[in-house]
């Protein structure tokens, strides 16, 4: 099967790592011959080149964005017009990119087009132009998680989703959300991401921890963004340290860190919170920590959370989105419902009983190892691709 996959960015974050791992596995099985289309060069294209997966650069744009409104009614009108002009500009850029790309794709003769995210529509448009079937990968909650607005409006967005021959959702929560747009449930397959190969899980099970018994270090990693909850974790840590001053927090990742830094300073925790920036090897850092926190609202899956589970860390997650499907409260992790007070209670629970925390981490590893292997995910994704081609 010749498969063209359109992905929405060129970095090697969760969605692209998952795509790359599945394509490599399916190619090794002889199930697909992949071609990847990206909007620009970056770490992903370097990895694709290394793995000898062909790719094309096409400067397409997303079909959703953040929209801010403030002031009086006449300000709202001006802001709306500015947002609409920006949307038109993005649409025109994607149209031009697709026009230039189409001759190459027609020569390549794909059997199927795959969009690796809901954030871009160029894959859907390419499938229509090529007259081939289309699979849409639902990897995010655009509205709830990122506060994005659809350039085509909810009705246009829903029509595009319903036109897909198959939608692959990375969690049941995402599949349920697609029901808001009347996407037929029998057209949506739930395929959780594979995070590691089975052999890697086995290796991580034997790796020794090197954490300091005099402190208790919480770890959080990901894009620094209001939706990811880093500031809530910092506020929770301040509450924890009123009772347990040995608590520490490491936050890895890049993004909007100005307000986060201000929150750390306001709470007087400069010595307790480390902003590690981009971390090349987060797994090694996890083995130096005692617990993992995911304060993200409406996380579709939570790859970093599963990586932490694989490293035998107890995980605290917010009870929303796909997180509630991965964590079973009190067994392989802890779920909290409301705000930093609830989160601080869960953090203290782990600190007050290190033995129970370690046991929870071992259960987390077993759960991740059973449910989230690359092999299992690729096999299910391959079935979805095959079914999308069925008449």
Q: How many Å apart are CA 278 and CA 253, to the nearest integer?
A: 5
C-alpha pair distances (Å), 310 with each of 195, 204, 240, 287, 323 = 9, 7, 26, 10, 15
Q: What is the CA radius of gyration of the chain?
A: 22
Q: How many Å apart are CA 305 and CA 294, to the nearest integer?
A: 7
User: Which of 146, 151, 148 is CA-nearest to residue 125?
Assistant: 151
Tokens 């995910």 sit at which residue? 377
> What mean pLDDT comes out for the span 103-120?
97
> Model confidence over 138-151: pLDDT tens digits?
999 999 988 899 99
Comparison of pLDDT for 14 and 385, the residue scoring more: 385
Domains of the chain: 2-194+374-388 (3.40.50.2000), 198-371 (3.40.50.2000)
Neighbours of 127 (CB within 10 A): 25
Confidence band (pLDDT; 50, 70, 90) for 257? very high
Q: Name every residue whose Cβ is closer than 8 Å to that of residue 155 and which is 6 or more positions away in sequence.
A: none
> Model confidence over 191-212: pLDDT tens digits?
999 999 999 999 999 999 888 8
Confidence band (pLDDT; 50, 70, 90) for 223? confident
Confidence band (pLDDT; 50, 70, 90) for 280? confident
| C-alpha atoms less than 13 angstroms from C-alpha of 61 in its C-beta half-sphere | 16
**Tokens read off for 346:** 């869960």
**Tokens read off for 88:** 């038109």
Confidence band (pLDDT; 50, 70, 90) for 155? very high
Residue 360: predicted pLDDT: 97
Confidence band (pLDDT; 50, 70, 90) for 13? confident
> Model confidence over 312-322: pLDDT tens digits?
999 999 999 99
> Model confidence over 170-191: pLDDT tens digits?
999 999 999 999 999 999 999 9
Residue 170: predicted pLDDT: 97
Residue 316: predicted pLDDT: 98
Q: Name beta bridge partners: 248.
A: 217
Residue 391: predicted pLDDT: 80
Q: Edge-to-edge, what's the strand order for the sheet holding 188-190?
A: 55-57, 33-38, 2-6, 112-115, 133-138, 166-169, 188-190
Q: How many Å apart are CA 116 and CA 122, to the nearest integer?
A: 11
**Tokens read off for 227:** 């939706």
Dihedral, 56, 58, 62, 63 alpha carbons, nearest 10: -110
Confidence band (pLDDT; 50, 70, 90) for 278? confident
Q: Is the pLDDT of residue 165 over 90?
A: yes
Q: How many Å apart are CA 125 and CA 160, to the nearest integer?
A: 9
Q: Is the pLDDT of residue 5 over 90?
A: yes
Residue 284: predicted pLDDT: 95
Q: How many Å apart are CA 90 and CA 87, to the nearest integer?
A: 5
Q: How many Å apart are CA 56 and CA 37, to the nearest integer?
A: 5
> What mean pLDDT comes out for the span 26-39?
97
> Model confidence over 74-89: pLDDT tens digits?
899 999 999 999 999 9
Residue 200: predicted pLDDT: 97
* Neighbour-count burial for 328-364, b at 16+ CB within 10 Å, e otherwise: eeeebbbbbeeebebbbbbbbbbbeeeeebbebbebb
Tokens 């160029």 sit at which residue? 122
Confidence band (pLDDT; 50, 70, 90) for 56? very high
**Tokens read off for 211:** 């954490």
Comparison of pLDDT for 279 and 343, the residue scoring more: 343
Q: How many Å apart are CA 225 and CA 338, to the nearest integer?
A: 18
> Model confidence over 332-377: pLDDT tens digits?
999 999 999 999 999 999 999 999 999 999 999 999 999 999 999 9
- Average pLDDT of the chain is 95
Residue 44: predicted pLDDT: 95
Confidence band (pLDDT; 50, 70, 90) for 251? very high
Kind plus residue range of the DSSP H or E element containing 168: strand 166-169
Residue 190: predicted pLDDT: 98
């Amino acid at each position: 099967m010749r498969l063209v996959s359109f992905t929405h960015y060129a970095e090697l974050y969760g969605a692209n790592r998952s795509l790359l791992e599945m394509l490599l596995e399916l190619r090794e099985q002889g199930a697909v011959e992949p071609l990847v289309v990206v909007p620009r060069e970056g770490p992903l294209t370097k990895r694709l080149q290394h793995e000898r997966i062909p790719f094309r650069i096409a400067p397409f744009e997303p079909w959703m964005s953040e929209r801010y409104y403030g002031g009086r009614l006449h300000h709202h009108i001006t802001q709306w017009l500015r947002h609409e002009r920006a949307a038109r500009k993005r649409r025109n850029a994607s149209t031009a990119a697709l026009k230039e790309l189409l001759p190459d794709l027609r020569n390549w003769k794909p059997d199927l087009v795959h969009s690796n995210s809901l954030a871009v529509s160029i894959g859907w448009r390419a499938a229509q132009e090529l007259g081939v079937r289309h699979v849409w990968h639902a990897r995010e909650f655009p509205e709830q998680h990122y506060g994005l607005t659809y350039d085509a409006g909810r009705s246009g967005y829903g029509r595009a989703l319903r036109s897909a021959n198959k939608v692959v959702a990375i969690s049941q929560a995402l599949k349920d959300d697609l029901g808001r747009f009347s996407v037929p449930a029998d057209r949506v397959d739930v395929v959780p991401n594979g995070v590691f190969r089975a052999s890697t899980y086995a290796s991580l099970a034997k790796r020794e921890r090197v954490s300091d018994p005099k402190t208790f270090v919480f770890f959080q990693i990901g894009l620094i963004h209001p939706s990811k909850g880093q500031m809530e974790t910092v506020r929770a840590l301040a509450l924890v340290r009123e009772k347990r001053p040995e608590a520490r927090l490491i936050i890895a990742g890049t993004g909007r860190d100005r307000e986060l830094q201000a929150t750390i300073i306001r709470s007087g925790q400069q010595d307790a919170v480390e902003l590690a920036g981009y971390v090349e090897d987060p797994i090694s850092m996890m083995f130096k920590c005692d617990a993992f926190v995911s304060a993200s609202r409406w996380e579709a899956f939570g790859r970093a959370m599963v990586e932490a589970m694989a490293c035998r860390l107890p995980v605290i997650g917010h009870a929303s989105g796909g997180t509630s499907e991965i964590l079973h409260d009190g067994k392989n992790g802890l779920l909290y419902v409301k705000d930093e007070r609830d989160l601080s209670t869960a953090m203290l629970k782990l600190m007050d009983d290190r033995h129970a925390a370690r046991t929870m981490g071992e259960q987390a590893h077993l759960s991740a190892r059973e449910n989230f292997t690359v092999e299992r995910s690729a096999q299910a994704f391959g079935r979805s691709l095959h079914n999308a081609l069925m008449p």
